[in-house]
């Protein structure tokens, strides 16, 4: 499946590649964890040349350098910007001492967008994400501001990231009832080693027709195949994120086994598993070197069998917070009384086995 086999992003008319390119690593300021301008441009050019069209960044990635690299790249190639779905995020405060420099209030959203557009050298963003929940700002204020920006033509679509399910549901309902621009996608942490999104946010997205765009789909590189029980890679990044736990190694073992049988990589298997989740799931793949990108794109060529998916689902099954445990087999037992409804079987609730008496 090549990058130019596009999917529709949620309930919108926006067509995007099955993998988005994450630009968080573009630029070396601050900290030196990213990559040079030259390497960033190689990664971006390769992604676009292969048919990719969905590029994701944020205002404070590498202190704004990520946005500037993207802006300079597209400015030097007239006509290319209009063919790319360019997404950025607001929330991060880049102005120490200024309480209104970040967050999701009206003034701060407008100011952050103007700064992003300046660095990106464009007059609009195709998708604008709330990067995190601003608990100090009414959701209505954030939504109305975003709707105003859509109507002004400065942004085209809206999404939320890292926001509680109850806040996200409230926001979507408010937008729909008031005729404001609704959400089309959620950017969430999601991988074989991070599945708690399946408790609330993923079911909500599926119900509302929102796309999921997982960040860290390889869980800090744990699912890349580099981490083995014999030892984790000797690198600064491994020291930063720590090593896998025993439970995580159990998942890595199954991923590696399936990858070996399919003659592919652990990263490709992990990304293929995400693509097979219910609904529209568009993983965000990042790279600090060109070979990281080309290696991750192998996930588009892998189709996992039902048996492989079942093995991965079982070994990586998350422990979800209440009330999610009440919504599985116990719910069917209480509700369906031994019948099968919509293909879901159930057993009989035990007390009913003891007596047919009804009071």
Mean pLDDT of 253-268: 97
Is 190 contained in some domain? Answer: yes
Measured between alpha carbons, how far is residue 24 from residues 40, 135, 209, 284 in Å?
10, 25, 27, 10
The Cα 309–Cα 276 span in angstroms is 8
Shared domain check, 135 and 71: yes
Is 322 contained in some domain? Answer: no
Is position 61 annotated as part of the catalytic site?
A: yes
- 11 dihedral zone (left: phi>0; alpha: psi -120 to 50; beta): beta
249-253: long-range pairs with CB below 8 Å, 24+? 250/315, 251/192, 251/193, 251/223, 251/312, 251/315, 251/316, 252/222, 252/223, 252/227, 252/228, 253/229
Backbone angles phi, psi at 270, to 5 degrees: -65, -40
pLDDT given for residue 22 in this prediction: 98
Which of 47, 61, 128, 157 is an active site residue? Answer: 61
The Cα 102–Cα 109 span in angstroms is 7
Shared domain check, 203 and 172: yes
Closest by Cα among 104, 1, 139, 115 to 65: 115
Which helix (H) or strand (E) segment is 43 a member of?
helix 37-49
Is 2 contained in some domain? Answer: no
Mean pLDDT of 64-89: 97
Closest by Cα among 21, 6, 17 to 284: 21
Q: Which domain holds residue 119?
A: 7-317
Share of the chain above pLDDT 90, in %: 81
Mean pLDDT of 191-218: 98
pLDDT given for residue 352 in this prediction: 59
Domain count, the chain: 2
pLDDT given for residue 332 in this prediction: 67
Share of the chain above pLDDT 70, in %: 91
Question: Residue 21 pLDDT > 90, yes or no?
Answer: yes
Instruction: Give me the residues paired with residue 344 across strands.
Output: 341
Shared domain check, 311 and 341: no
For tokens 């990589």, the residue is: 265
Model confidence pTM above 0.75: yes
pLDDT given for residue 338 in this prediction: 81
For 302-343, write each residue's pLDDT tens digit: 999 999 999 999 999 999 988 888 776 667 667 777 888 888
Shared domain check, 340 and 223: no
Shared domain check, 238 and 341: no
């Amino acid at each position: 499946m090549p990058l130019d086999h596009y999917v529709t992003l949620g309930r919108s008319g926006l067509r995007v590649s099955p993998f988005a390119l994450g630009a968080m690593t573009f630029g070396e300021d601050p900290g030196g964890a990213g990559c040079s301008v030259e390497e960033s441009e190689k990664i971006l050019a390769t992604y676009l040349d292969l048919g990719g069209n969905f590029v994701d960044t944020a205002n404070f990635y590498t202190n704004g350098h990520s946005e500037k690299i993207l802006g300079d790249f597209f400015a030097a190639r007239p006509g290319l910007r209009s063919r790319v779905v360019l997404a950025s995020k607001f929330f991060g405060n880049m102005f120490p001492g200024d309480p209104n420099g970040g967050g999701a209030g009206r003034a701060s959203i407008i100011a952050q967008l103007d700064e992003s557009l300046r660095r990106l050298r464009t007059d609009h963003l195709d998708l604008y994400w709330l990067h995190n929940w601003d608990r100090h700002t009414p959701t209505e204020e954030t939504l109305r501001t975003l709707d105003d920006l859509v109507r002004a033509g400065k942004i085209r679509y809206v999404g939320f990231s890292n926001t509680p399910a109850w806040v996200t549901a409230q926001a979507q309902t408010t937008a729909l009832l008031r005729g404001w621009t609704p959400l089309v996608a959620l950017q969430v942490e999601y991988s074989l080693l991070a599945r708690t999104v399946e408790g609330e946010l993923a079911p909500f997205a599926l119900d509302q027709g929102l796309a999921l765009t997982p960040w860290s789909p390889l869980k800090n590189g744990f699912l890349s195949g580099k981490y083995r029980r014999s030892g984790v890679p000797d690198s600064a990044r491994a020291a930063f994120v720590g090593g896998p736990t025993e439970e995580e190694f159990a998942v890595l073992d199954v991923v590696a086994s399936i990858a070996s049988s399919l003659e592919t990589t652990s990263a490709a298997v992990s990304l293929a598993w995400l693509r097979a989740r219910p609904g529209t799931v568009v993983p965000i793949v990042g790279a600090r070197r060109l070979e990281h990108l080309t290696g991750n794109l192998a996930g588009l060529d892998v189709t996992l069998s039902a048996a492989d998916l079942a093995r991965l689902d079982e070994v990586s099954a998350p422990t979800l917070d209440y009330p999610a445990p009440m919504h599985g087999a116990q719910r069917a037992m209480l509700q369906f009384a031994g019948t099968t409804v919509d293909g879901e079987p159930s057993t009989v609730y035990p007390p009913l086995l003891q007596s047919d008496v009804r009071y």
